[in-house]
């Protein structure tokens, strides 16, 4: 079995801090530039003939360990991003969805997230998912606990998949930028048979042109899903 159609793309956006440091800038400037890259990549995906979903690892459960001021900036940047991107979502037919434990965020940010989800729910050209305060192990644990609470004595893979926060499709291609080669607790269940690509480019410098080249590489691969 071989399938090279790219329907669900996932990205670990790494390198914002190093991008800023190399230029003698504050780390926050790297995050601002990184947000612009999200827009560029989302626009590319919305115009791609086969991509249906793009998932960005925006804030992990471990990112709370960063300096308090940086975390506070990231929260404000996210709220600003969603406010500014709403018109783009509507123009490009992009549905916005957030996954992760949002309860730790401020009430205003939670409201902004839910409002953006609601206002874009009927858009069908592309689904953009932001993983926020997200951890793959936590997502699987939550899904299993949900099934236990429903009275399940044993569960199937299909039932776990349906109970996850991301009941869309398995990931076809995962890209991580900045040269790091690990998945950092991201979409552990959904990455079972994904193709991986590790780019040396820091996230703020990652472009739609490079993504296009990565996808061409992906399309040349043979995906056998355990077969021959």
Q: Which residue is listed with tokens 């899903």? A: 225
**Average pLDDT score over residue span 133-144:** 95
- Provide the CA 190 distance to its chain's centre, in angstroms: 12
Per-chain mean pLDDT for the chain = 93
pLDDT tens column, 66-99: 999 999 999 999 999 999 999 999 999 999 999 9
pTM score:
0.93
Q: What's the confidence (pLDDT) of residue 3? A: 58
The contacts found for 154-160 with CB under 8 angstroms, 24 or more apart, are 160/189
Residues sharing a CB contact under 8 Å with residue 197, sequence separation 6 or more, in sequence order:
173, 174, 175, 176, 214, 217, 218
pLDDT tens column, 10-40: 999 999 999 999 999 999 999 999 999 999 9
Active-site residues, by number, are 14, 63
Would the pLDDT of 1 be above 50?
no
Dist. CA 189–CA 118, nearest whole Å: 27
């Amino acid at each position: 079995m071989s399938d090279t159609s790219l329907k669900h793309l996932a990205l670990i956006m790494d390198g914002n801090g190093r991008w800023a440091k190399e230029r003698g800038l504050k780390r926050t400037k790297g995050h601002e530039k990184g947000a612009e890259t999200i827009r560029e990549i989302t626009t590319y995906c919305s115009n791609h003939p086969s991509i249906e979903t793009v998932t960005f690892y925006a804030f992990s459960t471990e990112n709370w360990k960063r300096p308090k001021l940086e975390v506070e900036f990231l929260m404000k940047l996210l709220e600003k991003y969603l406010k500014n991107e709403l018109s783009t979502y509507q123009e490009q037919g992009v549905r916005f969805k957030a996954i992760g434990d949002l309860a730790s965020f401020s009430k205003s940010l939670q409201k902004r997230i839910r409002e953006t989800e609601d206002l874009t729910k009927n858009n069908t050209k592309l689904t953009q998912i932001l993983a926020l305060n997200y951890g793959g192990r936590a997502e699987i644990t939550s899904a299993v606990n949900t099934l236990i609470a429903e009275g399940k004595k044993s569960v199937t893979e299909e039932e776990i998949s349906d109970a996850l926060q991301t009941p869309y499709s398995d990931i076809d291609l995962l890209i991580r930028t900045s040269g790091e080669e690990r998945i950092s607790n991201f979409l552990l269940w959904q990455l079972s048979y994904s193709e991986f690509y590790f780019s040396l480019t820091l996230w703020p410098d990652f472009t739609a042109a490079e993504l296009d080249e990565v996808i061409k590489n992906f399309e040349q691969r043979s995906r056998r899903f355990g077969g021959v």
